[in-house]
């Protein structure tokens, strides 16, 4: 219908479809503004009505537009709307025709639009037309077009000239072009701003220079502020302090110069601090009173020391004759030779002090090697504390035997605590066994720890037992030549020697076919020494050894007693222990409860099963074998007479007849056992058996004539 110009009908249908905007548009494009306005007014509301009126006026232009807008009372709205929507020509037309007071406002909006578009020259023209030259100046300042800003300011707004210069100055300060910035601010007659900018840049000397020259009445306030800032910042203000210090020095104000130099602190420049503090000290020594000079040196010295400038600090102290302080500085700097030289040449009473400090230093630093030359005992203690035992003993061995033995004892004690008795034994094998009573507990503990070691009755353990035996022989020989000769301790060690010899001989003969019964007899002989040998271990080993050679009767009695000992261990008391089997023997009844069993639970069960099996078999008589004395064959004491026989040096059994006697009193052997041992040693060439004979020779004062040699 619209195409056929049937506008009323078209409007009807648009309204029916609620498309009033389409109807307005139809009338506009067909230049039917009154109809368009009518529809907008009826259906679109006030805003649509104004919009259509504005567009209608624009289509008319000139006086007609003004008349139309006046008719609708929309002239000011139309001017405002046109300017806000960049229709500046239409806005100007309307304003010039009937609202001239609006023209500057339109120029201002036009200028702002042009500035946003980057058209600065045109914007400048519009700003000036709007009577707002200052805005043009600000525009150019904002864009750092200083020449244009200056031109506009000088031509149209002289009051802004100063602001342009200040803007330029601020820009130059940001660019660190301080000289230009200062010139601009002085041209702007704003020296106080120059002072502020210099302060903000931490350029206090320049701030003070400007202040002194242009606003001297504010100088004292600025100096106070500067001092406050300096004390707050610490690092800040170094340049100003130096300048002040130099000025005061040149003007002869030495006390104030010293104060300024002392205030210099810049952790990033230690060389500068050292130089300034040294200068303060030098000036005080040269120009100030002796008391003040000493105060300054006492202040500067520790500061230089903190900077590790030990020589400089010491030099100052020496200038003031502060000898102790100079020595202490050299000590702190580890300049030991210098400290010693100062003490020796200037104050000999401090020589011992320096030596003591040097020792402490070496101790604290752990420099034991250096300490050896100064305080060998302290060095040895340090080696011991640090566990450097080899070094400790090597160094101690270069001193004297007494010192060496002290540290051998300390090391041995350490090894025993670490449960390394074999290594402790080697110490005494290597370094000897002095008969010092203070060592007796170590020797006893060493012996007990070794005999408590499990699985040490085989040939592979011979060397350990031989070393223990030889060590104890040496100890006993040393004791017999000392004040401890024949003392209870000496007798104890003789017993330990005998036990160690039995252990060594047992290991040497174990596995030698011709001597098959010897280890068993030695194990049986060890039963009389259960005050020292753990009772459970002694009976267990004796029982197994007897069983191995077919002595089942003895094996049964010993292993049965071993089981009783195990039960006593479980109960924690020996009160219920039955000693009936050992009446009229020299096997002790009084023994200690084992602290730990020598066997595993499985080994204990195996023995229990065997004992049970034998007892059920009922073929054994539970009595120990007797000899011609009608006494237990391994007992040294005859049951009827109480006579004590000597133990055989090879088996430990009593020597009754056909004996071999040795030079040493109380040493003998059963002839049969002795000859058998000699022949076996010769035929088997057993080095262990040869070593046993060698020991017996030493222990017993030589061997009986038999033609045997240790080759």
DSSP secondary structure of 447-505: HHHHHT-SS--SGGGHHHHHHHHHHHHHHHHHHHTSTTTTSHHHHHHHHHHHHHHHHHH
Could you tell me if residue 586 is inside a domain?
yes
Look at the chain and report how many structural domains it folds into.
4
Q: Where does a domain end: 644, 671, 691? A: 644
For the cut 70, the answer to whether the pLDDT of residue 451 exceeds it is: yes
For residue 407, give the H/E element and its range: helix 401-417
- The answer to whether 220 and 211 have CB atoms below 8 angstroms apart is no
Of 248, 249, 245, which Cα lies nearest the Cα of 263?
245
Alpha carbon 200 to its chain's center: 43
Q: Where does a domain end: 514, 548, 581? A: 514
* Claim to verify: residue 464 and residue 535 sit in the same structural domain: no
Distance CA 146, CA 532 (A): 110
Ramachandran class of 573: left when φ > 0, alpha when ψ lies in -120 to 50, beta otherwise: beta
Residue 590: predicted pLDDT: 86
* Claim to verify: residue 411 and residue 498 sit in the same structural domain: yes
Give the DSSP letter of residue 592: P
Distance CA 576, CA 161 (A): 122
Q: Mean pLDDT, to the nearest integer, of 100-128? A: 61
For the cut 60, the answer to whether the pLDDT of residue 17 exceeds it is: no
Residue 710: predicted pLDDT: 47
pLDDT digits (tens, 9 = 90+) for 152-204: 655 566 666 667 677 777 777 877 877 877 777 777 778 888 888 888 887 77
- The answer to whether 539 and 556 have CB atoms below 8 angstroms apart is no
pLDDT digits (tens, 9 = 90+) for 404-416: 888 888 889 999 9
Q: How would residue 368 be classed by pLDDT, with cut points 50, 70 and 90?
A: very low
Among 31-40, 267-276, 309-318, 413-422, the minimum mean pLDDT is found in 31-40
Residue 250: predicted pLDDT: 59
For the cut 90, the answer to whether the pLDDT of residue 566 exceeds it is: yes
* Claim to verify: residue 501 and residue 524 sit in the same structural domain: no
* Claim to verify: residue 548 and residue 639 sit in the same structural domain: yes
Alpha carbon 203 to its chain's center: 44
Could you tell me if residue 16 is inside a domain?
no
Residue 383: predicted pLDDT: 72
Q: Mean pLDDT, to the nearest integer, of 634-646? A: 93
Residue 541: predicted pLDDT: 96
Q: Mean pLDDT, to the nearest integer, of 362-379? A: 57
Distance CA 523, CA 648 (A): 13
Question: Which position has the higher pLDDT, 369 or 396?
Answer: 396
What three-state secondary structure class fits 640?
Answer: coil
Q: Mean pLDDT, to the nearest integer, of 703-710? A: 61
Residue 245: predicted pLDDT: 77
* Claim to verify: residue 695 and residue 593 sit in the same structural domain: no
Distinct helix (H) and strand (E) counts, the chain:
38, 2
Distance CA 518, CA 649 (A): 11
pLDDT digits (tens, 9 = 90+) for 195-248: 888 888 877 768 877 887 888 888 778 867 866 775 665 444 677 778 777 755
What three-state secondary structure class fits 709?
Answer: coil
- The answer to whether 492 and 544 have CB atoms below 8 angstroms apart is no
What is the secondary structure of 494-547 as a DSSP string?
A: HHHHHHHHHHHHHHHHTT-GGGTTHHHHHHHHGGGGTTTS-HHHHHHHHHHHHH
* Claim to verify: residue 524 and residue 631 sit in the same structural domain: yes
- The residues near 434 (Cβ < 8 Å, ≥ 6 apart) are 401, 405, 478
- The residues near 310 (Cβ < 8 Å, ≥ 6 apart) are 304, 329, 330, 332, 333, 335
Q: Where does a domain end: 599, 627, 644? A: 644
* Claim to verify: residue 563 and residue 663 sit in the same structural domain: no
Could you tell me if residue 476 is inside a domain?
yes
* Claim to verify: residue 555 and residue 481 sit in the same structural domain: no
Could you tell me if residue 108 is inside a domain?
no
Could you tell me if residue 412 is inside a domain?
yes
Residue 711: predicted pLDDT: 42
Distance CA 602, CA 681 (A): 37
Could you tell me if residue 526 is inside a domain?
yes
Q: Identify the burial level of 505 via C-beta atoms within 10 angstroms of its C-beta, where 0-12 means exposed, 13-18 middle and 19 or more buried.
A: buried
* Claim to verify: residue 577 and residue 655 sit in the same structural domain: no
Distance CA 84, CA 223 (A): 55
Residue 619: predicted pLDDT: 77
Residue 549: predicted pLDDT: 94
Question: Which position has the higher pLDDT, 305 or 671?
Answer: 671
- The answer to whether 490 and 482 have CB atoms below 8 angstroms apart is no
Helices (H), 264-346: 270-287, 290-306, 310-319, 323-332, 336-346
Could you tell me if residue 287 is inside a domain?
no
- Domain of 602? 516-644
Question: Which position has the higher pLDDT, 139 or 265?
Answer: 265
Residue 81: predicted pLDDT: 63
- The answer to whether 462 and 507 have CB atoms below 8 angstroms apart is yes
For residues 108, 112, 113 and 116, what is the CA-based torsion angle, rounded to 10 degrees? 170
Residue 365: predicted pLDDT: 61
* Claim to verify: residue 523 and residue 635 sit in the same structural domain: yes
pLDDT digits (tens, 9 = 90+) for 293-321: 888 888 888 888 887 888 888 888 888 78
CA torsion sign for 351, 355, 360, 362 is: positive
- The answer to whether 437 and 414 have CB atoms below 8 angstroms apart is no
pLDDT digits (tens, 9 = 90+) for 41-86: 655 566 555 666 666 666 665 565 666 665 666 656 666 666 565 5
Could you tell me if residue 549 is inside a domain?
yes
CA separation, residue 392 to residues 149, 204, 380, 595 (Å) = 89, 65, 5, 35
Residue 446: predicted pLDDT: 96
Q: How would residue 690 be classed by pLDDT, with cut points 50, 70 and 90?
A: very high
Question: Which position has the higher pLDDT, 496 or 59?
Answer: 496
* Claim to verify: residue 520 and residue 633 sit in the same structural domain: yes
Report the percent of the chain where pLDDT is more than 70. Answer: 69
* Claim to verify: residue 612 and residue 708 sit in the same structural domain: no
């Amino acid at each position: 219908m619209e195409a056929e110009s049937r506008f009323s009908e078209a409007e009807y249908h648009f309204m029916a479809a609620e498309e009033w905007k389409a109807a307005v548009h139809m009338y506009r494009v067909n230049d039917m503004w009154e109809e368009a306005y009518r529809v907008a007014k009826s259906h679109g509301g006030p805003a649509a009505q104004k919009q259509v009126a504005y567009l209608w006026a624009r289509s008319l232009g000139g006086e007609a537009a003004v008349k139309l807008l006046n008719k609708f009372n929309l002239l000011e709205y139309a001017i405002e709307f046109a300017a806000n929507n960049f229709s500046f020509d239409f806005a100007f037309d309307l304003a010039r025709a009937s609202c001239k007071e609006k023209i500057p406002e339109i120029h201002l909006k036009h200028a702002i639009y042009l500035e946003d578009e980057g058209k600065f020259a045109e914007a400048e023209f519009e700003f000036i037309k709007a009577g707002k030259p200052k805005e043009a100046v600000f525009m150019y300042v904002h864009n750092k077009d200083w020449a244009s800003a200056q031109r506009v300011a000088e031509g149209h707004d002289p009051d802004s000239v100063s602001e342009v210069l200040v803007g330029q100055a601020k820009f130059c300060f940001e660019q660190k072009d301080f000289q230009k910035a200062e010139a601009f601010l002085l041209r702007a007659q704003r020296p106080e701003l120059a002072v502020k900018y210099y302060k903000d840049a931490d350029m206090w000397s320049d701030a003070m220079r400007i202040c002194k020259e242009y606003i001297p009445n504010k100088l004292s306030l600025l100096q106070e502020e500067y001092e406050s800032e300096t004390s707050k910042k610490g690092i800040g203000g170094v340049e100003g302090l130096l300048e002040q210090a130099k000025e005061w020095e040149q003007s002869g104000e030495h006390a104030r110069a010293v104060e300024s130099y002392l205030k210099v602190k810049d952790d990033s420049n230690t060389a500068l601090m050292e130089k300034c503090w040294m200068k303060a000290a030098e000036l005080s020594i040269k120009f100030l009173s002796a008391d003040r000079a000493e105060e300054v040196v006492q202040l500067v010295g520790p500061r230089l020391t903190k900077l590790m400038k030990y020589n400089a600090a010491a030099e100052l102290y020496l200038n003031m004759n502060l000898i102790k302080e100079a020595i202490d500085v050299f000590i702190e700097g580890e300049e030991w030779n210098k400290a010693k030289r100062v003490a020796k040449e200037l104050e000999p009473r401090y020589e011992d002090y320096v030596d003591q400090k040097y020792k402490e230093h070496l101790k604290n630093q752990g420099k034991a090697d250096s300490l050896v030359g100064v305080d060998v005992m302290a060095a040895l203690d340090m080696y011991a504390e640090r566990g450097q035992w080899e070094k400790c003993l090597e160094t101690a061995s270069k001193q004297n035997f007494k010192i060496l033995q002290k540290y051998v004892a300390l090391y041995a004690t350490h090894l025993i605590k670490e449960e390394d008795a074999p290594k402790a034994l080697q110490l005494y094998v290597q370094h000897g066994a002095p008969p010092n009573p203070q060592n007796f507990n170590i020797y006893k503990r060493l012996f007990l720890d070794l005999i408590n070691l499990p699985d040490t009755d085989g040939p592979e353990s011979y060397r350990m037992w031989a070393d223990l035996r030889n060590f104890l022989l040496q100890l006993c020989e040393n004791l017999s030549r000392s004040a401890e000769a024949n003392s209870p301790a000496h007798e104890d060690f003789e017993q330990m020697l005998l036990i160690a010899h039995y252990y060594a001989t047992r290991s040497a003969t174990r596995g030698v076919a011709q001597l098959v019964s010897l280890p068993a007899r030695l194990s049986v002989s060890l039963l009389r020494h259960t005050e020292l040998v753990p009772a459970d271990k002694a009976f267990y080993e004796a029982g197994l050894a007897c069983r191995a050679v077919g002595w089942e009767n003895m094996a049964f009695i010993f292993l049965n007693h071993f089981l009783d000992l195990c039960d006593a261990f479980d109960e924690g008391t020996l009160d219920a222990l039955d000693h009936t089997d050992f009446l009229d023997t020299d096997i002790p009844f009084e023994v200690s409860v084992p602290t730990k069993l020598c066997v595993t639970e499985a080994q204990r069960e195996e023995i229990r099963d065997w004992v049970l099996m034998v007892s059920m078999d009922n073929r054994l008589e539970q009595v120990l074998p007797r000899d011609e004395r009608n006494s237990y064959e391994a007992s040294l004491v005859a049951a009827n007479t109480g006579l004590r026989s000597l133990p055989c040096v090879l088996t430990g059994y009593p020597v009754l007849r056909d004996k071999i006697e040795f030079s040493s009193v109380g040493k003998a052997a059963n002839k049969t056992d002795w000859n058998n041992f000699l022949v076996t040693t010769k035929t088997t060439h057993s080095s262990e058996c040869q070593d046993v004979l060698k020991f017996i020779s030493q222990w017993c004062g030589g061997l009986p004539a038999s033609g045997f040699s240790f080759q």
